[in-house]
Amino acid sequence: MATISGIFVYPIKSLRGIELDSAAVTDRGLQYDRRWMLVDDSGRFLSQREHPRMALLHIRLEGDQLLVFPGNQPDQALPIPLDSEKLGEIAGSGSSSGSGFGSGSGSGSAVKNRTIDVTVWDDTMPAFLMGPQYDQWFSDFLGFSARLVYQQNTTRRVVDSRYTSQEEITSFSDAYPVLLIGQASLDDLNSRLEQPVPMNRFRPNIVIKGWAPYQEDEIRYFQAGPIRFEAVKPCARCVLTTVDQDSAIRGKEPLKTLASYRTKNNKVLFGQNLIYSGKGRIEKGMEVRII
């Protein structure tokens, strides 16, 4: 029997992930997954591809906030409100009391002033600026200018219509709302490496145990609890997989070995991008049924 053996979310794109026992499936991916993002001064997303130091920032869910901190300094945590929609309400209320957002006047003018266009690859979409206190914290840690933004519920970033037909949406993910990897696929890859790598190199949302290596390449539909998933496109891998998530040191593996046997049309493939239908939660240990 195949089961879900891992559930992960990455609240701030390209920072460390969080492993969960269960997760709500929302209209744009797992709850909290990639709803925040760091961008440069032009609004382009920042990632470990160019800035591996981002791997050193850990995230923890605690109460009604995210805590972001360098791995060796949890006492230096930056709190970020989970319900960041309320930041827009504060900005638009005209009240500057304790918010740090300055004063707005009527009709949400301050909200508009705190919205910028951001880009993830070829997609451009609006995002809410979290505020200068957040920007300063991340800029100080990274050593260059970075701004923290949030994707509001009103934003609809539609996935590539060449692979889907229902105008599914996603957050600040690279392209699709959910990424799946089979545990046996990683086990097979590690059997080919001198030094095995952990699953966090590949940043999946769902890990499935009980399938054969790379069986996810052949499965189109499967059911987990109330959610019906559809695999729509293999995931092309990049240099981010070569960044050690504990040290932020970049090497050649596992991309070099993957390229030797998992290349198609000049792309190195590992894992499957998913869309889905249904509402509810997924949990570790939940049975996965191929349709």
Reference 30, options 46, 45, 11; nearest CA is: 11
pTM of the shown model: 0.92
Give the β-pairing of 206-209 and 178-182.
parallel
Longest dimension (CA), the chain: 62
pLDDT tens digits for range 50-103: 999 999 999 999 999 999 999 889 899 999 999 988 876 765 554 333 333 333
Q: pLDDT-derived band of residue 106, with 50, 70 and 90 as boundaries?
A: very low
264 CB burial (10 A radius; 0-12, 13-18, 19+): exposed
pLDDT tens digits for range 200-220: 999 999 999 999 999 999 999
Q: pLDDT-derived band of residue 108, with 50, 70 and 90 as boundaries?
A: low
Q: Which of 83-92, 182-191, 208-217, 233-242 has the lowest mean pLDDT?
A: 83-92
Peptide bond before 74: cis, by omega within 30 degrees of 0? Answer: no
